[in-house]
Each structure stands twice: as C-alpha cells, then as structure tokens.
Structure 1
Amino acid sequence: MTRSLSLLISTVFLIVACASPKKQEPVFSPTEMLDLSVLKTKENLKGISDSNSFLRNIPKGKSDWKVVGVKNWCSGFWPGILWYAYENSGDETIKKRAENFTASIKTIAYSPAEDHDIGFMVYCSYGNGYRLTGNEAYKKVLLSAADTLATLYNPKVGSILSWPVKVEEYGHNTIIDNMMNLELLFWAAKNGGNKRLYDIAVSHAEVTMKNLVRPDDAVFHVGEFDGNTGAFVKGHTHQGYADESMWARGQAWGIYGFAIAYRETRKQEFLDTSIKLANHFLNRLPEDGIPYWDFDDPKIPNAPKDASAAAITSCGLLELTGLVKDEKLKEKYIKAANNFVEKLSSKDYFSGDTSKALLLHSTGNHPKNSEIDVPIIYADYYYMEALTRLKKMEAANNAAQTQK
C-alpha cells in the first residue's frame, strides 16, 4: 500500500476520533469514506492485469485477493465496484478498467442459464455501466441476460429455478437471494424487452412472499417446490444455522429485494413485506449494531459477524426511505442505515491499511466452513453502493437547504 494512501487513511480515522461526542450527527463523512474507497480500489487495480479474473475474498492470514472466473456468481461485483469508483471520482483510468472487466461478463448473457445469479453478474456490471454511460451495446447485453434468466422460470410453480444443479436435493428450488435478480427482469421489461419479463418477476416475488416469508417475519433460505404441481414442499436453509433460524444475509436479501419489487410494481404487499423483514432485522440486532452471521447461532456472542449483511441491509433501508410515506418510519430507516454504514466505516470493520479489501468480518457459507470472518467482494460492493446513496442524499439535502 502506498504511503499517500496510508496517510489518508490515518487522517480520516483521526478526524473520526476527534469528532465531538456531544454532537448527535454521524461521525463519518460518506464523501470522505468514498474518496478513501476509491483510492483503495485503484490500489487493487495495480495488481490485476487479467480482465477475466474477478476478486472474490481474502482468505484468513492472507493479504491478497483470491480471484475467480467469469462464471463464479460473484464476478459482477468487482466491475460494479469499479463503476461506483468511477461515478464518485470521474477518473477515466478507472472507467477504462471498469469497461474491460465488464466486457468479460458478456458471455453470461449469451450462454445457457446455469443459475439465477445472472442478475448479480450482469446487472451489477453492465447495469451500472449503462446507468453511467448510456452505452447502447450495454443495453443489448442486459436485455439478452434478462431473456436468459427467464429461461429458468417454471410456470407451474410461478418462480425462477434458482439452482438447477440442486434439483435432486431440493426439487424446484427458489432461494431468497433470487429476489435481488428480479431487478434485471423489471428493468428489461420497461427498456425494450418482452413485457412477459415483468409478469415473471411479479409472479416470482409473489410465490417467494407466500412461501419463503415465515409467520415470524424471518425468511427461509430455500423454498422447495414440486416442479410438476407447483406445490410448496418445505422450507430449508443452505447457508444458515437451521431451517427455522434467521440467516442474516438471507434476511438482508429479502429486505432489499421486496423493496425493489414494490418500487417497480407499487404492489402494497411487497412494501409491507419489506417493512416486516426490516423491522424484524433491526429489532434483533446485537448491541454493537452489526449482525452475527445467523441471529440464532447458539454460539453467540462467540459467533462470527457478517458485515456483508449489514451493508446489504443498509442499501435496502435506503431504498425503503424513498418508498415509505410514514415520516417516522422514513426517519427510522435513514437513521438505521446511517448507523450501519457508520459502524462499517469504523476501525472495527473498515480495513484501513491492514487489508486490500474495504470491509473486514464477512461470513459466506458457515455450514460449509467457507469464507468465515474474512473480506468478501459483495460486502465491499454494497458498502460502496450505500456510501454513494448517502452522498447523494446529503447533496440533495444541502441543495434543499440552500434554496430555502
């Protein structure tokens, strides 16, 4: 890590440490943390020359990122981070690298669908790229990717098959993560794609809401269905502690995913579901404000945390603030999102000069003893998204105050 970057990191944390405890304002600046994150992202670019290698995690005891290929479900997050870095810096060298890594993902849109993660892979990369550049070639890839994802839809069940390779284990399976991939279908349906894509997304959200959201306002990770009759068979976990436990990242996917579904459809039941999931998540947080990997792990407080769940939830809550009409609820969600991002920006979770990642302490697949208490790329992606959202909200508020 360069000396200038280390100096900036130290300066930012010194500012935070010296903030007056009497003030009730957040002790972090989204703009400052974004600037720091952009610099760390540029540092990472220096060590990667192959645009077919995508950052995934930093294993315990290591300092360098482990990379994966384009077919890994996390491939879209690294180019997505580069697009956020470009958006917040205007740095053309970052844009060029974002374009290179994004181009490598094109193959996913034109290959047979292997799983539901097409949304994560293509929308986080090409979606952000199109949003920032308006490149018509990106639009074509996005539309093709939506059509590819739609091939996994089973009309008898009314949902997208999440994991074709796990049909023998779970039958027609629909996982809560898949709610996030519906955004690609919604986008395509209103940007020149087949209108049927909208209907598929709505049906999938309805089936997920009816069967994966439990009466206790937590979610199953996996819903098992009879692929021939469409009947719901059973709720499972795959990455949580138990079938009936509350897996933190799964709850986060649900909060954010149903908020997006409401934004795109204005179906009240989707908003109500996102609110229920969000309130349950916030009500069960531990004292330090960052969730354990599963809220019901009996080893708590000696269980690992999941910074990625906090980052994803912060984005979901910020999405909700623009959708709910109740001012008290809006204020609650803005405050909670700020709290998450502030905590993630502290020395407890932000890596500083100790790691090439942005965030420490995420947990991937605990039951498989995989990626436990390590930096993971999607934590950094949603952290960058949350900071970008907060920066824009801060700018809008300042502009409103100026006009008064």
Structure 2
Amino acid sequence: MLKATSIFVILILFFSCKTPESNSQSLISVIDQSLEFATQQSLRMAESLKNQPDKLPQTIDKNGKLVTCNSDWWVSGFFPGVLWYLYENSPSDSLKLWAENFTLRVEDQQYTTDNHDVGFMIFCSFGNGYRLTGNPEYKEVIHNASKSLITRFNPTIGCIRSWDYSSWSAQWQYPVIIDNMMNLELLEWSAKTFNDTTFSHVARTHANTTLKNHFRDDYSSFHVISYDTITGAVEKKNTSQGYADDSAWARGQAWGLYGYTMMYRKTGNKTYLDQAKHIADFMINHPNFPEDKIPYWDFNAPDIPNALRDASAGAIMCSALIELSTYISSEKGEQYLQIAEKQIRTLSSDEYLATPGTNGNFILKHSVGHMPNKSEVNVPLSYADYYFTEALLRMKKVLQGQQLFND
C-alpha cells in the first residue's frame, strides 16, 4: 500500500495549529454529530428489516415508504458497509451483530457472473467486514467474488463488460460504464491477498483501457463506451443516466475520480494519480460547480441553477478528494481537502441530513438515481449514505493524524 506523502503531515499541522474556535475543532464536532446521527438512524433501519431477512435498503417511494431490494440488485452491499463503518467508528455489540446479519444477506452474490457490480455488492460488505474482524469465511467470499468478476473480462477489448445483452441494452455490442472503475478495488485486493496477478492484470488493463477511451480532452467522462466485440475498437460513446451523450453526468465524474485515486493507492502508477487530479480539477473548476460543493445531477443540466443536486455524487467526490489530498503537494492537497470539508459541512446541514426517524431511516436526502428514466429522483439512496459515512471517517482520521489505509 502507498504511504501518504509529506502533504499528510503538513495538513495535520495546518489543522492542529488552529484555535479551539477554528474550523478544525468545529469540523470534528460536525463529523462526530453526523456519525452519531448515522448510527442511530442505521440502527433504526436495521431493526425495521429484522423480520425481512432477504431484504436490504434501497430508497423510498413517493409516499416516503422504504423500498428494499434483494441481494442481486447492485446496491445490496452498501447498507452492510455503512454498518461496518459505524462499527469501526464506535464499536458496539449491536452494530457488529447487525453488520454481520446484513453482510450475510448478500453472501450468495459471491458467485454472480451476470453483472459487474459484484465489487460493490461484496467488497463494501464482506471487504469492510474482513478488514475489521479478520473473519476467514469473509476472506473466502471475497476470493470467490473476484473469480466471478474476472469471468466478465474480454482480453480483446481490455475491459470488464458492464451489462449483458437485454432489450434495453441491445443498442450496444459490449457496453462498459465509468462506474465499473469502482469494482477494481476488489480485484487489486485479491491480487495482493491471494498472490494472484491474474486479478491485478484484469484490473489494470481495464483501468488503462478506460483511461484511453472514456475521457474527453477536458477530462470529463462519457458514461457508456461500447466496443466492437470482434476488433475491440470503440463503436459508440453514449450516456444512459446523464443529460446527454456529451454532457458530464455528475456521479459518473465522481466514479472516475474515486476509481483512479484508488488505483494509484493500489499500484503506485503515477498515470492514475495524474488522471485523478485532472478529473478533480475538471469538477472543482467547472463554472456550474455550486458554492456549497454538492454537484447538480449533471454538470450540463439545462435547468441550472434550478436543476436537482445529487448528494450521492457529492459524497463520492468528497471521499475521493480526502484520499487524493494525501498523495500530492501541499497547496493542491489543501485545496482538495478544503473542498471536501465544505462538502461534509453541507451534507451535514439540515438541507441534506435527515431528521431522526424520517427519510425511510436513510441518512442523506436529495440524491438522483436515474434522471432520464425518472427513477429514484430527489430521494435517499443507500450508496449516498455509504460514501458519506466513509468520507466522515476518512476526514476524521486525517484530522486525528491517522493513516487512512492499513492494508
């Protein structure tokens, strides 16, 4: 694992030198209050599903009622991951028992080969569980999931396929979405843990192919790149969830930022670090990036400034910027960390943070799932909660002078 550069120490000194009334002290208070709220809200969520052992939280419907999913939906691993993060922050028997309970609800997905989201499903749940408990059964599940995921890799194309053929995906021969960068951490972890370079070869080839084809000259990203299955050449550049094929769908930009930051941590390849910085700079310098630092659902949405915000994109971006800030020079790193601080403060405000017992017992309000399909629009989403909780813990570790990663 890469160690943080000197920026880590500089930032600690930067925060520790401030007075008790300064932002560093109040930020710690904001973080602790948000984590305490997240803990109580998540325990209520877990209790509400006690008698539905096959269900996991997804969102709410138009009446505010909880919508759940089965283990085979791509978001199934996020709530177990939230519970593990909250347990990491404040260990308790109840949090651990619920984290174990909900983690086991997605165990069957270790053998999933019909979609690319096994990384989200298994590594957010079992990955965090193994990191915190060392349970050898969790380790084996992660290994099996990695073997399942690489069955979707096509060496001619150099990517893991995202979606299989169906009536709605028939327009693409071999679709690969920017989201897929997030599933590579599972493979890199398994490559090191099981001393098997097959996993890292797939992960790095996918990352390199995505870097080559998914990004425009300004470092914004297409959502969907489809490849010719015979030649491996790019056949189409489209979107499924953004405003337009040539727009910058906010969560897609955040996936790319997070994915290349993570790949730098796992490989030490400076090309990935440079890509992450380019993506970050595109986002934070975009003229449509709001003052409160929570992106509109698409940077090119036609109704800005009245377009909906996407708390999930803000949370993912925040978590990535915190990590990225520890790998680079002091001035740039401080800028990224200041953006992340603003995002934490905004997401922890009444505008985005729910009140106890409301919001279907989710933590954050105002995320956008799939605007073109008018699906999960301006609602809580389990992955927004996951990356928000992760960002809170990462920032807390930075402020307390702790390493972010020990693997």
Structures share fold, TM-score greater than 0.5: yes
Q: 1:186 aligns with which of 158, 172, 188?
A: 188
Judge conservation of contact 1:314–1:337 (CA < 8 Å) in 2.
yes
Match of 2:263 in 1: 261
Judge conservation of contact 2:178–2:221 (CA < 8 Å) in 1.
yes
Secondary structure of 1:234 counterpart:
strand
Alignment of 1:211-290 (within 5 A): 211-284=213-286, 285-290=289-294
Residue 194 of structure 1: how far off its partner (Å): 2.6
Secondary structure of 1:249 counterpart:
helix
Q: Provide the rounded CA distance (Å) in 2 between the counterparts of 1:101 and 1:344.
A: 25
Matched, 1:378 2:380: no
Secondary structure of 2:171 counterpart:
helix
Q: Provide the rounded CA distance (Å) in 2 between the counterparts of 1:193 and 1:153.
A: 19
Residue 24 of structure 1: how far off its partner (Å): 4.8
Q: 2:305 aligns with which of 273, 287, 301?
A: 301
TM superposition outliers: structure 1 runs of 4+ over 6 Å:
none
Secondary structure of 2:205 counterpart:
helix
Residue 86 of structure 1: how far off its partner (Å): 1.3
Residue 72 of structure 1: how far off its partner (Å): 0.4
Q: Provide the rounded CA distance (Å) in 1 between the counterparts of 2:90 and 2:72.
A: 29
Match of 1:369 in 2: 374
Q: 2:199 aligns with which of 197, 208, 213?
A: 197
Match of 1:327 in 2: 330
Secondary structure of 2:401 counterpart:
helix
- Code of the residue aligned with 1:386 in structure 2: it is A
Alignment of 1:1-400 (within 5 A): 23-25=22-24, 26=26, 28-49=29-50, 50-62=52-64, 64-111=65-112, 113-166=113-166, 168-192=170-194, 194-284=196-286, 285-324=289-328, 326-353=329-356, 354-355=358-359, 356-396=361-401
Q: Percent identity?
A: 42
Q: Provide the rounded CA distance (Å) in 2 between the counterparts of 1:188 and 1:390.
A: 26
Secondary structure of 2:306 counterpart:
coil
Q: State the Cα deviation string for residues 308-348 of structure 1 (Å, max 9, x = none).
A: 00000001111212222x11111111111111111000011
Q: Provide the rounded CA distance (Å) in 2 between the counterparts of 1:57 and 1:332.
A: 33
- Code of the residue aligned with 1:125 in structure 2: it is S
Of stretches 76-85 and 350-359 in structure 1, the one that deviates more from structure 2 is 350-359
Judge conservation of contact 1:82–1:98 (CA < 8 Å) in 2.
yes
Number of equivalenced pairs: 375
Whose relative contact order is higher, 1 or 2, with alpha carbons under 8 Å and at least 6 apart?
Answer: 2
Q: Provide the rounded CA distance (Å) in 2 between the counterparts of 1:137 and 1:289.
A: 40
Residue 219 of structure 1: how far off its partner (Å): 0.1
Q: State the Cα deviation string for residues 9-38 of structure 1 (Å, max 9, x = none).
A: xxxxxxxxxxx9x95555552122111211
- Code of the residue aligned with 2:338 in structure 1: it is K
- Code of the residue aligned with 1:109 in structure 2: it is Q
Residue 288 of structure 1: how far off its partner (Å): 3.0
Q: Provide the rounded CA distance (Å) in 2 between the counterparts of 1:265 and 1:51.
A: 38
Q: Provide the rounded CA distance (Å) in 1 between the counterparts of 2:374 and 2:111.
A: 33
Q: Provide the rounded CA distance (Å) in 2 between the counterparts of 1:299 and 1:61.
A: 26
Of stretches 229-238 and 68-77 in structure 1, the one that deviates more from structure 2 is 229-238
Residue 248 of structure 1: how far off its partner (Å): 0.3
Q: Provide the rounded CA distance (Å) in 2 between the counterparts of 1:39 and 1:127.
A: 23
Residue 195 of structure 1: how far off its partner (Å): 1.2
Query: What TM-score, normalized to structure 1?
Result: 0.90
Aligned-pair RMSD on alpha carbons? 1.7
- Code of the residue aligned with 2:190 in structure 1: it is A
Judge conservation of contact 1:143–1:193 (CA < 8 Å) in 2.
no
Q: State the Cα deviation string for residues 117-151 of structure 1 (Å, max 9, x = none).
A: 00000000000000000111111110110010000
Q: Provide the rounded CA distance (Å) in 1 between the counterparts of 2:320 and 2:291.
A: 21
Q: Provide the rounded CA distance (Å) in 2 between the counterparts of 1:88 and 1:52.
A: 27
Q: What residue ranges of structure 2 are gaps of 5+ in the alignment?
A: 1-18, 403-407
Secondary structure of 1:367 counterpart:
coil
Judge conservation of contact 1:162–1:174 (CA < 8 Å) in 2.
yes
